[in-house]
Amino acid sequence: MIMVGTMAITLWVIGWAMKVPYAVRWNMMAILLVGVMIIHFILPNGHPLRMATGGDARLWAIFFGFGILVWVYRKFLTNLRARVQTQETPAPKSDSFSPTELDRYARHIILREVGGPGQKALRDAKVLVVGAGGLGAPALQYLAAAGVGTIGVIDDDVVENANLQRQVIHLDRNIGMPKVHSAAEAMVAQNPFVTVRPYHRRLEADIAEELFADYDMVLDGTDNFETRYLINKTAVTTGRPLVAAALTQWEGQISVYDPAKGTPCYECVFPEAPDPSLVPSCAEAGVIGPLPGVIGAMMAVEAVKLITVAGDPLAGRLLIYDALYAQTRTIGAKPRADCPVCHGRGLREAD
């Protein structure tokens, strides 16, 4: 018993000194207990090592089972807290801004291109963000901070330790929590005047149209082409403008797709998904941590511009940012008459 306790304390102290995440340290304790139980099953009764570690595997099995119960209970409370906080998010109830809101959004209101009417448009807007990962994290944060009244976020993933290098909306203590609830928790903490709607599930064709119809625009922060093409098709069908971006290693790209306003759709620009070997995932190829913040913030800027009708959005233009060499270039994009999704609708609208 003393031997195992000493080993556990030593591992915990080493983990603390090396700033190993809290969840990882508990995993180390679990591995230690499993190792001790394995020793008890393998070694015969009376073996010195078995006696030094308690002598009976059932004792450690009880500790391990108790630990699992505590872990499950903590996860339940964490998820419940996230849901309750989201449900209690106050929705705007008045046509006028409170003094606190006026002070909060003052830097927007004094902007000529935004002003009071623009800020009210932001408060009345409903924006859906698909993906709460690298691109979704900064986009969600800035949309909430900007005062977008209703923000939906759909993602079926949970927070992992490897996400925290770049997905800055999530915290270490939220490892294992659904990303949509972790993001909602952070957004409400940032701005209690917005309503957040988390959908912990994968976006699929059977729900996409109905979901998109409840929002004014969509931001695509996903990392796979199958979902990107589904988002584009649904955005075209429902007439919703789409702000879409993508990342790889040191480079990011972003554009606004809105065939109803004369622009190409996503499939006009990218008619076929590239070979998977040419576009490895972040897990395979890596990605520099701040890059999603740069491109994700651009997504939020484009959304704010569309809502407030300010400036010139990235419609019909694909902006490419190379962080490694600090270069930015813009490529023009036009609708395709043979596009199977929008059928060159942007060409007709432009005429």
**What residues are annotated to the active site?**
282
| Calpha distance 222→175 (Å, rounded) | 20
At residue 105, what are phi and psi to the nearest 5 degrees? -100, 15
Question: Rounded to the nearest 5 degrees, what angle is found at the Cα of 120, between the Cα atoms of 119 and 124?
Answer: 120
Residue whose C-alpha is closest to residue 237's, from 85, 131, 340: 340
Contacts of 44 (CB under 8 A, 6+ apart): 50
Q: E strands of 176-268, at which residues? A: 195-199, 217-220, 242-248, 251-257
> Residue 149 CB: number of other CB atoms within 10 A?
19
Cβ-contact 296, 258 below 8 angstroms: no
Contact 123, 151 (CB under 8 A): no
- Shortest CA distance to 141 belongs to which of 99, 79, 184? 184
Closest CA to 198 of 126, 289, 129, 274: 129
Identify which of 211, 162, 167 has the alpha carbon closest to the alpha carbon of residue 186. 167
